[in-house]
Chains A and B, each alone.
Chain A
Amino acid sequence: MVHEVPTGTDELVADLVAAIGPDRVLVGGGARHLYGRDSSIIDGGHSGPVCFPDSTEQVADCIRAAVAHGRDFVPRGAGTGLSGGAVPCNDPVVIATTRMNQIHEVDVERRIAWVGPGVVNLDLTRHLAGTGLHFAPDPSSQQASTIGGNTANNSGGPHCLAYGVTSAHVAAVEVVLSDASTVVLGEEVGDAVGYDLRGAFVGGEGTLGIATRIAVRLTPDPPVVMTLLLDFKSIVDAAEAVTGIIAAGIVPAALEIMDQKVVQAVEKFVSAGYPLDAGAVLIVELDGLPAGVAREVEIVKRVGADNGVGTVRVAADNAERELIWKGRKNAFGAIAHIAPRYYLHDTVVPRTRLAEVIEKVNAAAERHDLIVMNVFHAGDGNLHPLLMFDPREPGTLERVHAAGEEIVRIAIEAGGVLSGEHGIGLEKRRFMSLLFSPDDLAAQRALRDAFDPLGRANPLKVFPTGASCGDVVGLTEIPEGVWV
């Protein structure tokens, strides 16, 4: 189907070009095709002009032009989001922050850095080499994803178990709102006086405005880090071990589980020597002072033994440690060996109910005749069941969505929530009403409206709505809100 470019586009483009220059505004069909999607399974977005501003003022100019021509605007970082937060609906102006990738200022003594939203997460940590500091949030996409995107999604990552998610590491943020005005939320030092608007903005998925400069907190590197790889006969045993470790009074830096299918897929890519015959592996990272870490290693080994651990491998050096993590952090990409697409859920359940929930999730997938793979932040109870499928097989999509919905319900019934760290975006908005009452949602919408009374900032995201996105409405047999 040929999508028609809305009227008034020429005038809009002229204004954008006048504001930021002709080579910073893409209007070609190829560009709009690519900017129509992100890393999620949602296809069929429709991008208007794609802009590459390089300053706060230029972001404001782009927003001003969009709104003046009656268009929405959608911010985009690296486009590695998994819930469709950056998928454009209804030909909005897409504002890509990839050129705002300057590290403006690093204050080692106060452990604060001001960065552009387009700075790649891992680039900041690399830039800090030698200072003894790093940027703690480490989503699996950290080598590619931007700090602006991490802020918008309040991203997590393996090490958020001990260090907290992105919100804990954003001290202040400069934001351009939908009326093109610029505000700074939060404080470099201490907590905000009055309402914590910074806290409200982080995780706003671009619906509250666009972050143009971010003050991030820097975390001291731990004196000692030990990484252990434990293998278990079953994923349930591994989950029981996680509960045991936490119950023993330890908060490891990270606790990650991968099931056998995931291990087999990632081993193909990294050759890290993961045990291919184990039912599941558990990665445990311990950090802190040498004596404490040594004691914790012994406790982890003991808890492992109590739960029938096979072998316990302790990474001998940094290279081995990095290899173990490389496998974990490339898991989502590596599983493409199994099937061409995956539908990834991001539910969180109380840690003590992990084993029981995983069994139910696996049973649900089996009922719908789907392969499910599990790789997740076990310490947080943050599940990432991946339903593998080939969209070219007739009837598959219906089974994927039915199983997905069951998985969400299983998590919520176990006292869990919809999303741990990937955001709601387009993908999970229809589930919001499973978790929130109409009053809850109305309160959240009032907050959104306070930031964006015009409703132009990344609309149709987060909140359940009858409106769909572009011409994907044609796929009516699929539950509203999710497109594959």
Chain B
Amino acid sequence: MSSPSYTELLDLDSDSLTTCVACGLCLPHCPTFRLTGDERMSPRGRIALMLALQTGEAACDDEWYNSMETCMQCRGCEAACPAGVPFGELISGARAAISDARPLPLHLRIGLWALTRPRLLLTGSRLVALLQRLRMLPRVTFLPRRLPLSGSSLPRRTEGDVILFTGCVMDVWQPEVHDACESVIEVTGSTVLRSGPRTGCCGALHEHAGLHDSARELAEHVIATLQGDQQVLVDSAGCGAALKAYGDLLGTPEAKVFSERVLDVHEWLAERSDALPLADVSGRPGVIVQDPCHLRHVQDAHGAVRQVLGHCSEVVELNDDGLCCGAGGSYSLLQPVMATAARDRKVELIRDVSARSGANIVVSANPGCSMHLATAGIEVLHPIQVLAGMLASPGEVVGGSPAGPAGGADGR
């Protein structure tokens, strides 16, 4: 073997790698294997290639990199693995190891940097929104077609019973989701303190892209700005999973304590569902639930979503074991072909289920998923928006617009 640096490049826990007995039960849960039928695009294949690189049996070539870089990091395999292989840890380690050798494209690095600068993000987003309205910008697939002009408000309170983590891009692009969460939380009798731009970005996308150092810096900043003992509620699955993992990421007692304060907003509401008024579900259109991977596979909180949504509508399942839609953080920018194929598969399923069930509202508790699906013409709401709408006007159906899954744009 020619290169001496394999073992230096990759230093993964060999016990974790050899825990994989190659049984293959992960295969159907892997979106890239589902699309290609290619072992290199499967969890057990990726594990075998990591091991082979560490033992010198495989070369560190484009084929190897491609296998690692095409992983959506949805961690569907991890939830399905009977042997408990910590795949998320392994792929994260592999991605971090190759981040020097395979730097991210410039536009993504700029984008990830911008997430850490809330004011810049807000100003830039408003500029883009204005240009979109003046039709002076070409359509780019990764941006919502119509960014909001307003963006999020500053924290309304200086104190609250619970903290609502508002993040970076979501605070700017989907402030209405935070508004909906705040209103529903208040119905249960608790007050909400928004984390706001001072706390900013959670670093999930940075960690996802292999930028460990940035992720750690952001994690430390988030923890420092959210002192106290209130619970930290999160309405973005990706952010929630990241915040819950700060304990492991930083390894400090402080970070561990912080992570224990974090709950997905659905988990928190499910415990208080008695405080929510129960709507008459009959006659309302069902709601199709698209589970974000980091809610279902990582946080195991998809049951809470159903419990909460059940208050205002019939829940319609996609029955695909929560297979990833292809959004995957910045994945849709880095691997557009695979991301689009995964998205199209999901969209086809949504349209099919919608046609069979008559349900025309789709919900997903993660901004990445909803923006990704929106690029194919699927309008996606946050589950809490549906609930908030019902609480605001019990007689009306929220979100059942003709631009729902069955109609509307063709995705171009």
Q: Could you tell me which A residues sit within 8 Å of B by CB distance?
A: 26, 28-31, 33-35, 37-39, 52, 78-80, 96, 98-99, 101, 118, 120, 122-123, 126, 129, 141, 143-145, 266, 268-269, 330-337, 340-342
* A29 touching B27, Cβ below 8 Å: no
Give A322 to B311 CA distance when docked, in angstroms: 26
The 5 closest A-B pairs by CB, nearest first: A98-B37, A333-B82, A336-B83, A330-B82, A334-B82
Question: CB-CB < 8 A to B21: which residues of A?
Answer: 39, 332-333, 336, 340-342
* A33 touching B25, Cβ below 8 Å: no
Question: CB-CB < 8 A to A144: which residues of B?
Answer: 24-28
* B18 touching A340, Cβ below 8 Å: yes
Contact A33-B49, Cβ < 8 Å, known A336-B19, A336-B21, A337-B84: yes
Contact A26-B38, Cβ < 8 Å, known A34-B45, A268-B84, A340-B19: yes
Q: Does B40 contact A (CB under 8 A)?
A: yes
* A330 touching B25, Cβ below 8 Å: yes
Select which of B48, B49, B319 is within 8 A of A126 by beta carbon: B319
Q: Does B67 contact A (CB under 8 A)?
A: yes
Give A78 to B36 CA distance when docked, in angstroms: 12
Give A35 to B37 CA distance when docked, in angstroms: 12
Q: Does B23 contact A (CB under 8 A)?
A: yes
* A269 touching B82, Cβ below 8 Å: yes
* A99 touching B25, Cβ below 8 Å: no
Q: Does B63 contact A (CB under 8 A)?
A: yes
* A33 touching B58, Cβ below 8 Å: yes
Give A334 to B36 CA distance when docked, in angstroms: 27
Residue of A whose beta carbon sits closest to that of B37: A98
Give A100 to B24 CA distance when docked, in angstroms: 18
Over the window 16-58 of chain B, the binary record of Cβ atoms lying under 8 Å from chain A Cβ atoms (1 yes, 0 no) is 0011111111111000000011111000010011001000011
Give A342 to B67 CA distance when docked, in angstroms: 27
Question: CB-CB < 8 A to A37: which residues of B?
Answer: 22
Residue of A whose beta carbon sits closest to that of B64: A30
Question: CB-CB < 8 A to A39: which residues of B?
Answer: 21-24
Q: How far is the CB of A13 from chain B (nearest CB, A)?
A: 15
Question: CB-CB < 8 A to A333: which residues of B?
Answer: 21, 23, 25, 81-83
Select which of B19, B25, B49, B58 is within 8 A of A143 by beta carbon: B25
Over the window 124-148 of chain B, the binary record of Cβ atoms lying under 8 Å from chain A Cβ atoms (1 yes, 0 no) is 0000000000000000000000000
Select which of B39, B52, B58, B83 is within 8 A of A337 by beta carbon: B83
Question: CB-CB < 8 A to A29: which residues of B?
Answer: 58-59, 61, 63
| Sample of 8 more A-B contacts, CB < 8 Å, known A30-B49, A80-B27, A99-B37 | A26-B40, A29-B63, A96-B38, A141-B24, A144-B27, A336-B21, A336-B83, A336-B84
Residue of A whose beta carbon sits closest to that of B59: A29
Select which of A38, A52, A334, A335 is within 8 A of B37 by beta carbon: A52
* B83 touching A79, Cβ below 8 Å: no
Residue of A whose beta carbon sits closest to that of B15: A340
Q: Which of B146-161 contact A (CB under 8 A)?
A: none
Chain B CB within 10 Å — which of A79, A129, A266 has the most? Answer: A79
Q: Give the number of residues in B that approach A within 8 Å (Cβ atoms).
A: 33
Select which of A30, A120, A334 is within 8 A of B83 by beta carbon: A334
Question: CB-CB < 8 A to B83: which residues of A?
Answer: 333-337
Give A405 to B52 CA distance when docked, in angstroms: 31
For this complex, 23 residue pairs linking A to B, each with C-beta atoms less than 8 Å apart, are A26-B38, A26-B40, A29-B63, A30-B52, A31-B40, A34-B39, A35-B39, A39-B21, A52-B37, A78-B27, A98-B36, A120-B28, A141-B23, A269-B82, A332-B21, A332-B82, A333-B21, A333-B25, A333-B83, A336-B21, A337-B83, A337-B84, A342-B21
Give A366 to B40 CA distance when docked, in angstroms: 39
Residue of B whose beta carbon sits closest to that of A342: B21
Give A332 to B81 CA distance when docked, in angstroms: 11
Residue of B whose beta carbon sits closest to that of A76: B39
Give A266 to B82 CA distance when docked, in angstroms: 7
Q: How far is the CB of A62 from chain B (nearest CB, A)?
A: 15
Give A333 to B61 CA distance when docked, in angstroms: 30
Give A26 to B39 CA distance when docked, in angstroms: 11
Give A402 to B84 CA distance when docked, in angstroms: 30
Give A143 to B26 CA distance when docked, in angstroms: 9
Question: CB-CB < 8 A to A268: which residues of B?
Answer: 84
Select which of A52, A123, A335 is within 8 A of B38 by beta carbon: A52
Q: Which of B75-107 contact A (CB under 8 A)?
A: 81-85
Q: How far is the CB of A141 from chain B (nearest CB, A)?
A: 7
Residue of B whose beta carbon sits closest to that of A27: B63
Residue of A whose beta carbon sits closest to that of B39: A34
Q: How far is the CB of B412 from chain A (nearest CB, A)?
A: 25
Question: CB-CB < 8 A to A336: which residues of B?
Answer: 19-21, 82-85
Give A26 to B41 CA distance when docked, in angstroms: 13
Q: Which of B197-254 contact A (CB under 8 A)?
A: none
* B24 touching A78, Cβ below 8 Å: yes
Question: CB-CB < 8 A to A122: which residues of B?
Answer: 28
Question: CB-CB < 8 A to B28: which residues of A?
Answer: 120, 122-123, 143-144
Give A99 to B21 CA distance when docked, in angstroms: 24
Give A336 to B86 CA distance when docked, in angstroms: 13
Chain A CB within 10 Å — which of B21, B45, B57 has the most? Answer: B21
Give A371 to B338 CA distance when docked, in angstroms: 44
Q: How far is the CB of A186 from chain B (nearest CB, A)?
A: 26
Select which of B18, B20, B24, B84 is within 8 A of A79 by beta carbon: B24
Question: CB-CB < 8 A to A269: which residues of B?
Answer: 82, 84
Q: How far is the CB of A201 from chain B (nearest CB, A)?
A: 23
Question: CB-CB < 8 A to B81: which residues of A?
Answer: 333
Question: CB-CB < 8 A to B49: which residues of A?
Answer: 30, 33-34
Q: How far is the CB of B395 from chain A (nearest CB, A)?
A: 32
* B39 touching A31, Cβ below 8 Å: yes
Question: CB-CB < 8 A to A129: which residues of B?
Answer: 319
Give A31 to B81 CA distance when docked, in angstroms: 22
Give A434 to B218 CA distance when docked, in angstroms: 65
Give A341 to B67 CA distance when docked, in angstroms: 25
Question: CB-CB < 8 A to A31: which residues of B?
Answer: 38-40, 63
Question: CB-CB < 8 A to B59: which residues of A?
Answer: 29-30
Q: How far is the CB of B286 from chain A (nearest CB, A)?
A: 16
Question: CB-CB < 8 A to A330: which residues of B?
Answer: 25, 82
Question: CB-CB < 8 A to A33: which residues of B?
Answer: 48-49, 52, 57-58
Give A118 to B37 CA distance when docked, in angstroms: 9
Q: How far is the CB of B56 from chain A (nearest CB, A)?
A: 11
Give A225 to B81 CA distance when docked, in angstroms: 27
Question: CB-CB < 8 A to B24: which residues of A?
Answer: 39, 78-80, 141, 144-145
Over the window 299-310 of chain B, the binary record of Cβ atoms lying under 8 Å from chain A Cβ atoms (1 yes, 0 no) is 000000000000
Residue of A whose beta carbon sits closest to that of B51: A33
Residue of A whose beta carbon sits closest to that of B319: A126
Residue of A whose beta carbon sits closest to that of B57: A33
